[in-house]
Amino acid sequence: MNKSNTKRTSHDTPAASLAALGLKLQHVHLFDPIHQQVLIAQKTVKYTPTNKLYDGFIALLAGAQGMVEINTRLRADPILHLAFGRAQCAEQSVVQQTLDSCTAENVTQMEHAVDCIYRQHSQGYQHDYRAAWQVLDVDMSGMPCGKKAAFATKGYFANTERNRRGRQLGRVLASRYHEVIVDRLFAGNRQLGGGAAVVGGSRRGYLGTERGEAATLPGAHRCRRRQRRQFQLVARARLSGLGQSLFGPTGAPVGEDGSGVDHRSASARATARADADR
């Protein structure tokens, strides 16, 4: 029997499941909006700035706690970065220099690009508001940090010593789809009532629910009038195990001034809580 002349090759990687995810992200062109919209003023020698951001993104998916781990988690695993479409990987100091070169304008560009990615690939944005309400959870999570970190302020953080410095991470979650819609970082002394109006207002752009974008919802051109009457969003905020309704039946934040103060009657608040718990 003739022997095969084809050499067998094998590739080993400790992140085989992540490699499969990389192939999927290549197929859907997930990073394209960032390549097109985020324009970092940095000279390209070997890798473009957004390619270096992509390397940092892959490293975070691989479990890196910082850019310093790119060399050990990504550069040392060529099969992993090949699965994500990267023939070579930038060195960690080069990626850090790109991050240091980013400006406030680049941050805004990144927010718009992430907004575009969410609208293209999320289930929350495609939600059929004629069939069911979109239920959102608004929450603030304390994150202790060092004195030099952005927004580092003394505040209350569970299971830590008193007078600890930290930040508050505000999030809006689409409960039905287990998706994070909005992430916003606040000072450590910011409470739920003050941050909810900002975070809750941001979710309108991500979901396309602001007044000027009603036509972008599926089937809106056939039922615009009915959506104006019936479109409702209920957000439930969980703070110390207590549910607090932040949005009224019209989808606007409680309190017209955006302060989060509930001016409704006790019966109206009870009805809103009962609706949110359904």
Give me the average pLDDT of each 10-residue run along the chain (278 residues): 58 78 92 94 91 94 90 89 91 93 94 91 89 86 88 86 88 89 86 60 56 38 40 37 38 45 57 60
Asked whether the beta carbons of 135 and 234 are under 8 A apart, the reply is yes
Domain end call among 113, 131, 149? 113
The two tokens of residue 235 are: 């957000």
Q: Provide the pLDDT for residue 260.
A: 46
CB 236 within 8 A of CB 254: no
pLDDT of 37 = 95
Give the ranges where 1-139 is alpha helix by DSSP (H).
16-28, 32-37, 49-61, 70, 78-83, 92-101, 104-121
Task: Give the separation between CA 241 and CA 173, rounded to whole angstroms.
Answer: 17
Angle 271-272-274 from CA coordinates, rounded to 5°: 65
Please tell me the predicted confidence (pLDDT) of residue 185: 86
Query: What pLDDT, on a 0 to 100 scale, did the predictor assign at position 10?
Result: 61
Check whether residue 158 and residue 266 sit in a common domain. Answer: yes
Looking at the structure, do residues 172 and 242 belong to the same domain, yes or no?
A: yes
Residues 179, 239 within the same domain: yes
| Spatial distance between the Cα atoms of 18 and 267, rounded to a whole number of angstroms | 50
- Structural domains of the chain, count: 2
CA 193 to chain centre: 21
Against a cut of 0.75, is the pTM above it? Answer: no
Q: Are residues 71 and 137 in the same domain?
A: no
Which residues form the domain of 204?
A: 122-276
Residue 261 falls inside a structural domain: yes
Q: Residue 53: what residue type?
A: L
Question: Has residue 11 been placed in a domain?
Answer: no
Tell me the residue ranges of DSSP E strands in the chain: 134-144, 153-154, 165-174, 179-187, 233-239, 242-245
Among 56, 86, 113, where does a domain finish? 113
Letter string b/e over residues 33-72, b meaning 16 or more CB atoms within 10 A of that residue's CB = bbbebbebeeeeeebebbbbbbbbbbbbbbebeebebbbe
